[in-house]
């Protein structure tokens, strides 16, 4: 353990095999983060596996069951740095049951097209998320290119 708070986030896409849309969530609290967009997710509880924590958070926050895909790996061991106290690991996820709704912590959800990078990056994300969003867009673009005929 490195003493950092471990956060897990879901890059929820329409299809793990052929991702074209990303589900983004707008925080409703706390005050300094309200109105900013993020990856739905939350803190890993003591003794909990990170992927189990992510599945739990997505069920609590969005009311959906998910199948998790690959991790969006960070250069930094332990995940993407969020602030001096917390880092976040992010996995791709596909909804297997339920219709996503902003049940907890969010006041809006939106599906955004992954091929429109500027539209995705124009959203007011939590500032710490921008490197993660850029890496995500790059990862999806590389995959799309590699599957061209």
Ligand X SMILES: Nc1nc2c([nH]c(=O)n2[C@H]2C[C@H](O)[C@@H](COP(=O)(O)OP(=O)(O)OP(=O)(O)O)O2)c(=O)[nH]1
- Can you name the residues that pair with 109 across neighbouring β-strands? 25
Region 26-65 residues binding ligand X, contact defined as CB under 6 A = 33, 38-39, 41-43
Check residue 86 for interaction with ligand X (CB under 6 A). yes
* Token reading at 32: 């300094």
9 makes contact with ligand X (CB under 6 A): yes
8 Å CB contact between 11 and 93: yes
Report the nearest approach of ligand X to the CB of residue 28 (Å): 11
129 touches ligand X by CB under 6 A: yes
Tally of residues, the chain: 149
Q: State the number of binding residues for ligand X (CB under 6 A).
A: 15
* 58, 64, 82, 120: residue in contact with ligand X (rule CB under 6 A): 82
- Between 88 and 114, name the residue whose CB sits nearer to ligand X: 88
Instruction: Please give the Cα distance from 82 to 79 (Å, whole number).
Output: 9
Residue pair 90/39 in contact (Cβ under 8 Å)? The answer is yes
Task: Tokens for 66, please give them.
Answer: 């998910």
* Biggest CA pair distance of the chain: 48
Cβ distance to ligand X smaller for residue 9 or 100: 9
The answer to whether residue 93 forms part of the interface with ligand X (CB under 6 A) is no
The number of angstroms, rounded, from the C-alpha of 73 to the middle of its chain's C-alpha atoms is: 12
Q: Give the tokens for residue 82.
A: 């969020």
Q: Which two tokens stand for residue 56?
A: 């739990």
* Residue 100 found at the interface with ligand X (CB under 6 A): no
Binding segment for ligand X (CB under 6 A), chosen from 64-72, 80-88, 93-101, 140-148, is 80-88
Using CB under 6 A, which of the segments 11-19, 71-79, 125-133, 136-144 binds ligand X?
125-133
Q: Are 39 and 10 in contact (CB under 8 A)?
A: yes
Contact set with ligand X (CB under 6 A): 7, 9, 33, 38-39, 41-43, 82, 86, 88, 105, 126, 128-129
């Amino acid at each position: 353990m490195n003493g950092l708070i471990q956060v897990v986030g879901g890059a929820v896409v329409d299809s793990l095999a052929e991702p074209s849309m990303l589900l983004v969530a707008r925080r409703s609290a706390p005050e300094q983060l309200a109105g900013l967009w993020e990856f739905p997710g939350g803190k890993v509880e003591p003794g909990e596996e990170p992927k189990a924590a992510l599945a739990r958070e997505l069920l609590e926050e969005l009311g959906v069951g998910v199948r998790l895909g690959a991790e969006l790996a960070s250069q930094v061991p332990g995940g993407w740095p969020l602030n001096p106290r917390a880092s976040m690991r992010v996995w791709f996820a596909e909804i297997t049951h339920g219709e996503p709704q902003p049940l907890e912590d969010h006041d809006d959800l939106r599906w955004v097209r992954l091929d429109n990078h500027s539209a995705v990056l124009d959203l007011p994300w939590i500032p710490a998320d921008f490197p993660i969003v850029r890496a995500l867009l790059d990862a999806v673009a590389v995959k799309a290119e590699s599957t061209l005929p």
